[in-house]
Amino acid sequence: EDGYDLWLRYRLLAPEQAGLYRGHLSQLVAGSGTPTQAVTRGELQRGLAGLLGHEMPLSDTVTRDGAIIVGTPKSSALIEHLSLNTQDLGNEGYLIRNVVVNGHTATVIAGREDIGAMYGAFHFLRLLQTGQPLDHLDLRESPHVKLRLLNHWDYLNGQVERGYAGTSIWDWWKLPDWRAPRYTDYARANASIGINGTVLNNVNAGATILTPEYLQKVAALADVFRPYGIRVYLSIRFSAPVEIGGLKTADLLDPQVQAWWRAKADEIYKRIPDFGGFLVKANSEGQPGPEDYHRTHAEGANMLADALAPHGGVVMWRAFVYSQANPDDRAKQAYTEFKPLDGRFRANVLVQVKNGPVDFQPREPFHPLFGAMPKTPLMMEFEITKEYLGFATHLVYLGPLYEEVLSADTMAHGKGSTVAKVIDGSLDDHTLTGMAGVANIGTDRNWCGSDFNQANWYVFGRLAWNPSLSSRAIAEEWVRMTFTNNEAFVKPVVDMMMGSREAAVDYMTPLGLLHLMGPGHHYGPAPWDASESRADWRPVYYHRADHQGIGFDRSRAGSDAVDQYAPLLAVQFNDVKQTPEQFLLYFHHVPWDYRMRSGNTLWYELVAHYTRGADDVKRMLETWRHLDGYIDKERYNQVATFLAIQEKEAQWWRDACIAYFQSISGLPLPPGYVPPQHSLQYYQSLSFPYVPGFSSW
Ligand code: BDP
């Protein structure tokens, strides 16, 4: 077992479970008249053969009890005769139901379109993989979010920015001729969790991807993905008309520039008729953009949107902007810039917003733009790759992070205005909706750098399909599919996953701290660091620890970031006593001897959180050691080794941060707490050449 099969392992079911299904699975009635029908049928054959240990006979019609019928009313006369209500399933929805056909019991998996039936087939396989009963099935599912996308931060030279799973899976050199089988497996995995789009290249984009040579390669990938309902999108460079178009300017008001983008869009759609659209990082961290010509983000987005609109494409314009020249609190800048643009975007533009106002930290409050731009579809951007959460090795299940953000209440239209409702469009009546996840996929045999990182890809897809699902239920599904249905394994592993994110917050950045990692490469603790060229890239900018206290004052007396939230929340966050303690140091600069709700001082609680985080990882390793024997040795051993690395590194985070903050607070450790293993100077002297995922080696 090398992890390559992901959650689509389809290993033989335990005899008692297979016995349960015997009467339900006797023949497969599924067409193969279109590429999507063919891959759907192929997946069911492959899955059922693996799970049951024998090939499932194909049949044109139902001749015995236990048939599985798959298709659409258009593709299958049998399904048409069942007169199921498939109309309101939409393009991608499906139903799964027990029916009687020709006097025989059967299970029907039907969509209005082929893609819906395909999603239904994956769901059906999941029922078997997770040991669900197959009687009394009456399921109806449609995605709550329209664009469910991975964002690859892959460079054309094969490097993956913030990637910890090897190099890029796109072998640009050999494309378009060589279509690696891995591309098909990638599509299967994504389709199985409902992901329907992929942005192939890094948001820090060059212009080369838009050259005819590369578009041909992109088209080859699009061909592989199409049967699985996955569209390709590209990150574009705003200055491409200059770099590859020979123009003197990329100013959107120049008619030649507009004509260049229109012609480029026409060229792309000629090769890829279902091309999804553009993702744009503009005027952010050195990327070019409309502001270079004194135009707004909305004007820039609209120019591209106009070029794509005749073909049905969209622009996903990122709100991740903050400027070196702007002295204002970095956390405020995206809101300040984008909020006034609400209502100024074309109908085919989404503004893509990171989950928090700073930058994918272990914990941040939700981004104040959610709920604040009712006239604009806002797309969620989560980071799946663990740039700030221990890279490949740490076991940190991100489901609870995603769920925490999605269930946060923006109060935009009173109580219950959750971020999930902004994202699924229901709060402000948008039909164009989206969720993006920065992929953690690379050439590693197990795709994601560790077995448990696969769970983060999985949970992202499931939540993009339905942002109201529970991250615990998803973790359980994943564990059953990826490892085993044995309850003695499932329960402790799910518990361990569910606690893992809080453990990471505790050993890295508790109580609302953030951005304490090493400069540039983002590996390990460096709360002392002030070496970065930009002030707002330095940890000391964020924690502001001094002899009196610690934390960033974002109250009305400070940067007033609190007033970017709805009035009731602003009042709450402005008041140190009402601020949830998990965000305390995000919103307030607090004295070291401040009394926390526990009655302990802030200093005491800080040390206690750091220590608890490191201890939690020790317990995770112990839990795992008790599970030896339940799964294959290969994966067991790698997880055990990675947990041991995490144990060491959690201790390092705890010790380095306590050593540093103690040097500032000047306070003794609370009684009973073990001092850091090394001196502060030791932690400060560590250096890390060649950290993976960092582009300026
Ligand atoms: C930061 C990453 C950087 C990305 C940037 C972004 O460190 O590599 O380019 O986000 O999202 O967190 O554009």
Q: Tell me: pLDDT of 695 over 80.
A: no
CATH H-level, domain 15-141: superfamily: Chitobiase/beta-hexosaminidase domain 2-like (3.30.379.10)
Q: What percent of the chain clears pLDDT 90, i.e. is strictly above it?
A: 98
Question: Please, what is the average pLDDT of the chain?
Answer: 97
Provide the token pair at 586: 């995000």
Residue with tokens 């087939």: 121
Three-class secondary structure of residue 321 per DSSP: coil
pLDDT digits (tens, 9 = 90+) for 369-425: 999 999 999 999 999 999 999 999 999 999 999 999 999 999 999 999 999 999 999
Atom of ligand 1 nearest to the CA of 359: 12
Atom of ligand 1 nearest to the CA of 203: 13
> Angle 311-74-21 (CA atoms, 0-180°, nearest 5)?
115
Three-class secondary structure of residue 383 per DSSP: strand
CA of 383 to the centre of ligand 1 (A): 10
pLDDT for 603 equals 98
Whether the CB-CB separation of 537 and 286 falls below 8 Å is answered with: no
Report residue 23's pLDDT band, with 50, 70 and 90 as the boundaries.
Answer: confident
CA of 203 to the centre of ligand 1 (A): 9
Q: What's the whole-number mean pLDDT along residues 215-221?
A: 99
Nearest CA to ligand 1 atom 10: 359
Please compute, for residue 145, the number of CA atoms within 13 A of its CA located in the half-sphere on the CB side.
34
The single-letter DSSP state of residue 139 is E
Is the CB of residue 281 below 6 angstroms from any atom belonging to ligand 1? yes
Residue spans in the chain of domains classed CATH 3.30.379.10: 15-141
pLDDT for 697 equals 43
Is the CB of residue 217 below 6 angstroms from any atom belonging to ligand 1? no
CA of 177 to the centre of ligand 1 (A): 32
pLDDT for 492 equals 98
Pocket test for ligand 1, best of 162, 201, 360, 440 (most atoms within 8 A of CB): 162
CATH H-level, domain 506-552+589-685: superfamily: Alpha-glucuronidase, C-terminal domain (3.90.1330.10)
523-528 CB contacts, 8 Å cutoff, 24+ apart: 523/391, 523/688, 523/691, 524/649, 524/652, 524/653, 524/656, 524/686, 524/688, 525/652, 525/653, 525/656, 525/657, 525/660, 525/683, 526/656, 526/684, 527/656, 527/657, 527/660, 527/661, 528/660, 528/680, 528/684
Provide the token pair at 562: 């609190």
Is the CB of residue 521 below 6 angstroms from any atom belonging to ligand 1? no
**Which element (helix H / strand E) includes 301?**
helix 297-308
Residue with tokens 């610690």: 550
Burial of residue 671 (number of CB atoms within 10 Å: 0-12, 13-18, 19+): exposed
Q: What is the largest CA-CA distance in the chain?
A: 82
Is the CB of residue 695 below 6 angstroms from any atom belonging to ligand 1? no
The single-letter DSSP state of residue 382 is E
**Which element (helix H / strand E) includes 99?**
strand 94-101
Whether the CB-CB separation of 186 and 228 falls below 8 Å is answered with: no
Q: How far is CA 573 from CA 221, 315, 563, 588, 654, in A?
A: 47, 34, 9, 9, 27
pLDDT digits (tens, 9 = 90+) for 441-487: 999 999 999 999 999 999 999 999 999 999 999 999 999 999 999 99
Q: What's the whole-number mean pLDDT along residues 118-134?
A: 98
CA of 96 to the centre of ligand 1 (A): 41
Q: What are the beta bridge partners of residue 352?
A: 318, 379
What are the catalytic residues?
A: 285, 359, 387
Whether the CB-CB separation of 195 and 148 falls below 8 Å is answered with: yes
Residue spans in the chain of domains classed CATH 3.90.1330.10: 506-552+589-685
Three-class secondary structure of residue 293 per DSSP: helix
pLDDT for 449 equals 98
Residue spans in the chain of domains classed CATH 3.20.20.80: 147-470
Nearest CA to ligand 1 atom 11: 320
CA of 430 to the centre of ligand 1 (A): 28
Atom of ligand 1 nearest to the CA of 522: 7
pLDDT digits (tens, 9 = 90+) for 639-694: 999 999 999 999 999 999 999 999 999 999 999 999 999 999 999 999 998 999 98
Provide the token pair at 458: 């999985």
Q: Tell me: pLDDT of 496 over 50.
A: yes
Nearest CA to ligand 1 atom 1: 359
pLDDT digits (tens, 9 = 90+) for 299-353: 999 999 999 999 999 999 999 999 988 999 999 999 999 999 999 999 999 999 9
pLDDT for 696 equals 57
Pocket test for ligand 1, best of 160, 201, 285 (most atoms within 8 A of CB): 285
CA of 490 to the centre of ligand 1 (A): 35
pLDDT for 324 equals 86
**CA distance linking residue 249 with residue 247, whole number of Å:** 6
CATH top-level class of 147-470: alpha beta
Among candidate residues 424, 402, 421, the one with its CA nearest the CA of residue 413: 421
Pocket test for ligand 1, best of 154, 159, 160, 203 (most atoms within 8 A of CB): 203
Report residue 22's pLDDT band, with 50, 70 and 90 as the boundaries.
Answer: confident
